[in-house]
Amino acid sequence: MHSELKRMIETICKDRGFDRHFLIEAIEEAVLSAARKKFGGRRELEVRYNDEYGDIEVFQFRKVVEEVEDDQTQISLEQARLLDPEAQIGLELGERMEKVSDLGRIAAQSARQVIVHKMREAEREVVYDMFKGRIGEVVSGLVQRFDRGDMIVNLGRTEAILPKDQQIPKRSFKQGDRIRALLLEVRQTSHDSQLILSRTSNEFLAKLFKMEVPEIAEGIVKIMGVSRDPGFRAKIAVSSTEIDVDPVGACVGMKGSRVQNVVQELQGERIDIVPWRPDPAQYVCNAMAPAQVSIVRVDEENKSLLVVVPGDQLSLAIGKQGQNVRLASRLLGWRIDVKSEQRYANLEDPGYRSILALDGVDESLADQIFAKGIVSAEDFASRDIEEIASLRSVDREFAEMLLASAKETVRMEKMPGSESGQA
């Protein structure tokens, strides 16, 4: 076993290029730990590798005493003089331990463990160096396995993880499928996965278009913004640096071939390609497509936009569960408030605004009141309780509260000193 250990050390250092001193030191530490477990943790032990014989030697040091109370740390003078005739009480005596036959096996095992550990460390360094400059690139691999919802992807030389929250929802892959994803992060760690992938990031969509559209790769067409509800719908804004190049047409491709390739990669995610404009009013009209926009009011200070659309376009402009306006808002980085032409016209009417100002009245209720022919807060205050209670979602108690609020508002407006009273 000992000669085997020597051969192993020589072979490893030669073939693997490991530092001989480091390897021997690691083996000595492993054997010392094993020796303490075998012979007792209180012993003062020392492990040395005998280079001449390829042998592991274990020494223990004990104090010479008249009466032994702890044989792990003490030795009697009589026993000490059998080992060293010149031993004296109070001195430390070292001796080579003989019952170490199984420690040679431990030494060989520890050598193998050191090799495996060093190889893993070296492999991690290689992977880190190989991929650290590729963050933001699209990589391709095979689905290897699944681990608690996370997908492990084989990239060839190494594995990467596609976390559950970076996967497109409701889209399934099975083991062996080829998959593309964005390299989101490269970690220099010995515990977690080093390579983190994403298929939900905006950058993934942008990179897919860059791969499909030569004009983007050449810098003629520029991607100005991306917003996504991964797996469902996305908007991408593009512009051109050359007048004769249509950025939208370039991204769509012949018979829609380019955009369809991206849609297919994203497993059916619907993509709106939006012409970018520097003017937010023009830009939002494009971003709200396919809905038609009638009027845009821009609030530069608060970075907000009031978008007015025809009544039959309102649901299209807002989108299912607010998706269209939400994606447009993210694309611009502005808050967008969408209103129908009728509601916008109502808001321009002072009487409508006076109704909307009443406590408990929102736009939906104000629309109902106005549609009933009640044209102002003053008009509202003159109506009877039954008429108010006939409104949808208004019970008698709520109607009484609304009428009281209207009458108080009218009373306050007519008081001397108010704007109405001075008129």
Residues 161-183: tens digit of each pLDDT: 999 999 998 777 888 899 999 99
- pLDDT tops 60 at residue 1: no
Give the CA distances from residue 358 to residues 149, 344, 414, in Å, rounded to whole numbers and listed in that order. 51, 18, 16
Q: Are 165 and 97 contained in the same domain?
A: no
pLDDT-derived band of residue 423, with 50, 70 and 90 as boundaries?
very low
Q: Which residues pair with 46 in a beta bridge?
A: 59
Q: Please give the pLDDT value at position 417.
A: 54
Sheet holding 295-299, edge to edge: 295-299, 304-309, 335-340
Q: Which of 20-24, 50-54, 129-133, 190-194 has the lowest mean pLDDT?
A: 190-194
Contact status, residue 236 vs residue 223, Cβ threshold 8 Å: yes
CATH number, domain with residue 256: 3.30.300.20
CATH number, domain with residue 183: 2.40.50.140
- pLDDT tops 80 at residue 38: no
Reported as a single tens digit per residue, the pLDDT across 183-227 is 999 887 766 568 999 999 999 999 999 999 999 999 999 999 999
Question: What average pLDDT does range 67-82 have in this prediction?
Answer: 87
35 lies in a domain? Answer: yes
- pLDDT tops 80 at residue 26: no
- pLDDT tops 80 at residue 109: no
Residue where a domain stops, chosen among 165, 199, 233: 199
Contact status, residue 274 vs residue 285, Cβ threshold 8 Å: no
Q: Look up residue 288 and give its amino acid.
A: M
More confident residue, 386 or 317: 317
Is the bond preceding 290 in cis, omega lying within 30 degrees of 0?
A: yes
Percent of the chain topping pLDDT 90: 38
Residue where a domain stops, chosen among 283, 305, 339: 339
Q: Are 399 and 332 contained in the same domain?
A: no
CATH number, domain with residue 7: 3.30.1480.10
258, two tokens: 């380019």
- pLDDT tops 90 at residue 387: no
- pLDDT tops 90 at residue 245: yes
pLDDT-derived band of residue 285, with 50, 70 and 90 as boundaries?
very high
Q: Are 35 and 142 contained in the same domain?
A: no
Full domain range(s) for residue 384 = 349-422
Q: Are 140 and 111 contained in the same domain?
A: no
Angstrom distance (rounded) from CA 395 to CA 388:
9
Total structural domains within the chain: 4
Do the strands 270-275 and 335-340 form a parallel or antiparallel pair, or are they unpaired? unpaired
Angstrom distance (rounded) from CA 379 to CA 351:
9
Q: Are 283 and 330 contained in the same domain?
A: yes
355 lies in a domain? Answer: yes
Contact status, residue 292 vs residue 310, Cβ threshold 8 Å: yes
pLDDT-derived band of residue 254, with 50, 70 and 90 as boundaries?
very high
344 lies in a domain? Answer: no
Q: Are 88 and 164 contained in the same domain?
A: no
- pLDDT tops 80 at residue 117: no
pLDDT-derived band of residue 422, with 50, 70 and 90 as boundaries?
very low
Question: What average pLDDT does range 8-15 have in this prediction?
Answer: 75
57 lies in a domain? Answer: yes
pLDDT-derived band of residue 237, with 50, 70 and 90 as boundaries?
very high
Q: Are 311 and 235 contained in the same domain?
A: yes
Q: How many Å from the N-terminal Cα to the C-terminal Cα in the chain?
A: 110
Angstrom distance (rounded) from CA 204 to CA 269:
13
Q: Are 186 and 276 contained in the same domain?
A: no
Contact status, residue 49 vs residue 28, Cβ threshold 8 Å: yes
Q: Are 328 and 412 contained in the same domain?
A: no
Give the CA distances from residue 236 to residues 53, 272, 311, 330, 331, in Å, rounded to whole numbers and listed in that order. 72, 6, 26, 11, 8
Angstrom distance (rounded) from CA 270 to CA 274:
13
State the DSSP H helix or E strand holding residue 228, giving kind and residue range, or none if neither: strand 221-229
Q: Are 226 and 325 contained in the same domain?
A: yes
248, two tokens: 């939208």
More confident residue, 422 or 56: 56
Residue where a domain stops, chosen among 320, 339, 358: 339
Q: Please give the pLDDT value at position 202.
A: 95
Q: Please give the pLDDT value at position 377.
A: 79
Q: How many CB atoms lie within 10 A of CB 348?
A: 9
Q: How confident is the prediction for the chain on average, in pLDDT? A: 84
Helical ranges in 288-423 per DSSP H:
314-318, 323-332, 341-348, 350-356, 363-371, 377-381, 385-389, 396-414, 419-422
Q: Are 231 and 311 contained in the same domain?
A: yes
Closest by CA position to 232, among listed 211, 253, 255, 263: 263
Question: What average pLDDT does range 60-89 have in this prediction?
Answer: 87
Q: Are 325 and 244 contained in the same domain?
A: yes
Q: How many CB atoms lie within 10 A of CB 323?
A: 14
Contact status, residue 156 vs residue 139, Cβ threshold 8 Å: no
Reported as a single tens digit per residue, the pLDDT across 326-347 is 999 999 999 999 988 888 887 8
Q: Please give the pLDDT value at position 210.
A: 95
pLDDT-derived band of residue 421, with 50, 70 and 90 as boundaries?
very low
Contact status, residue 316 vs residue 272, Cβ threshold 8 Å: no
